[in-house]
Amino acid sequence: MKQLLILLVACAVGLFPAIADTNPKYEFRGAWVATIYGIDWPSTTGTSKAVAAAQQKELAALVDALADAGFNAVMFQVRPMADALYRSSLEPWSSYVSGARGSAPKYDPLETAIALCHERGLECHAWINPYRVGKAEPTTPLDQQYRHLWMTNKVGRQTMTILNPCFEQTRQHICDVVCDIARRYDVDGIAFDDYFYNPEFIPEDKTAADWTHYVESGTDLSMGDWRRSNINAMIQLVASELSAIKNGKIRFGLSPQGIAGGNGVHADKGVPPTADYGVITADSQYGKIYSDPVEWLANGYIDYISPQIYWPTDNPKHPYGGLARWWSDVAEMFGRHSFPSIRISGFAQANTPESWGEAVRQLCANRESSFNGAPGVVVYSAAYISGPKCSGFGKLLADSLFSTHALLPPQPWKENAQPLELSNLHLNGDTLMWDPIDDARYVIYAIPNHIDPLDALSDSGEGLSSDYIIAVTYDNSYAIDPSTLLDHQIAIAPYDRYGNEWQPKFLTP
């Protein structure tokens, strides 16, 4: 009761009207699963069979908890520092799973994560840090192969290395890594985060680690614009090559810092200043790490943006609500989606229903800010939702804002989508079965017998209401509770990898 009270207060009429009583049918509900330093997973590292079994058990529990909380997408970090939590011929195994860079575990973590997610009807997006190498030493043969692309900067006793964005070979290497994952694994998406130029490379003068390359390029651009052009070229290359894989079915998303491109640099494109939304602060993404997310949206390089809006709704300089609205407006302007990232790691210090209120307000703000029927959120990070670092927030979501299933928002700009039709739906004992459709998922509905199917349609005209979804599956069968068959009408709708749901088929007696 106390949790529900917090929710009602957070979504009270006058703050976020008309969203507390119903949940949207389409909503991106993602959770970041950070593997770097074992932030979310794994809690142990090593190459033994015992460690492999423990890691897989832990990952299964994490995915189960996210599914139970109502999430529908997992952002699984597979490349934290130019390494791999999957089988790769391009980069070494990550120490964050095996304990030592280059050492192989007894299983494939990405393959396991995909299988676990798909078993629970969740999408699995491979989370990649494009440039960061960190403090790694070039100790493996694969590191030595690409050592010439590294750019290292020392600040006091600290050393930080990134792949130099100015090299064409760096761009191609990152693209090759992405495409290798996309071709060999059944991932639903690729997600980049906000690591581009390391902040320590900020000086735009001869003290910068890349000054010589800038001078030798012969460009007429300022150093800042030259750096941004290097990043833009990489994003464009990845977008182009990724779109040609699997008929463009893999979503390409990017999670920049929460403030970027609203400082007037895109006024010629009609982009409003963030100041109009109550945001009064510097643009760190554009001006400090030299990336330009608005440019990527404007050119259609990415399918969604997930800005890291890691400030509360009452922040006087960069309020969450204002930034969420700005990003939604800009994404909508260019025909793309915005699914803001929110941070809940503060629950580790104060994990109470009262402390969850701010996160609930942010979730409500996302729904209120979305005008294209495609709200969404990506929560950082998974360990603070339903364990292992703290728990309770997941149950609150399952009982309230995520109490009904949600499908991933369709992407109308994907022109390759073709209508799908379910055939041969029948019952084999207590198992629903139907003919498989290539690369499709399926939405299972159970509508009480006393409700006419026409009355079960959603008010927004999006097919059957999400109130009646009981599961999403990647398989062409589903074991159903026999008691559900007694007093419910069963329908199954094909659901393609672009996010489109097609005409449902009802099970006939």
* Domain ranges, ordered by start, for the chain: 24-130+168-399, 426-506
Q: Is the pLDDT of residue 5 over 80?
A: no
pLDDT at site 309: 97
Q: Mean pLDDT throughout 307-314? A: 96
- Work out the mean pLDDT of the chain and round it to a whole number: 93
Angle at 149 between CA 76 and CA 39, to 5 degrees: 25
Element at 284 (helix H, strand E): helix 284-288
Helix and strand totals (H; E) in the chain? 14, 19
Q: How far apart are CA 14 and CA 21, in angstroms?
A: 14
What is residue 371's predicted lDDT score, i.e. its pLDDT? 73
Strand 28-33 versus strand 73-79 pairing type: parallel
Average of pLDDT values for 163-175? 98
Q: 320-333 vs 353-369: helix axis angle to the nearest 10?
A: 30
Q: Do residues 155 and 104 touch, judged by C-beta distance below 8 A? A: no
**Span 195-211, mean pLDDT?**
85
Using one digit for the tens of pLDDT, what is the confidence trace for 16-25? 334 445 799 9
> Residue 215: its pLDDT value, please?
97
Q: List the beta bridge partners of residue 126.
A: 76, 190
Cα gap 62→346, rounded to integer Å: 19
Question: Angle 168-184/223-243 helices, nearest 10 degrees?
Answer: 30
Tell me the residue type at 442. Y
The confidence score (pLDDT) of residue 253 equals 98
Mean per-residue pLDDT, 384-389: 96
pTM: 0.95
Please report the pLDDT score of residue 18 as a whole number.
41
pLDDT of 349 above 50: yes
Q: CA triplet 68, 117, 250: central angle to 5 degrees?
A: 125
**Residue 19's pLDDT is what?**
40
Percent of the chain at pLDDT above 70?
Answer: 95
> Dihedral, CA atoms, 64, 440, 84, 176, nearest 10 degrees?
-160
Give the pLDDT of residue 477. Answer: 98
Instruction: State in words which class domain 24-130+168-399 has.
Output: alpha beta
Return the bridge partners of 151, or none: 162
pLDDT of residue 155: 65
Name the DSSP letter for residue 271.
Answer: P
Number of residues in the chain: 509
pLDDT class for 152, splitting at 50, 70, 90? confident
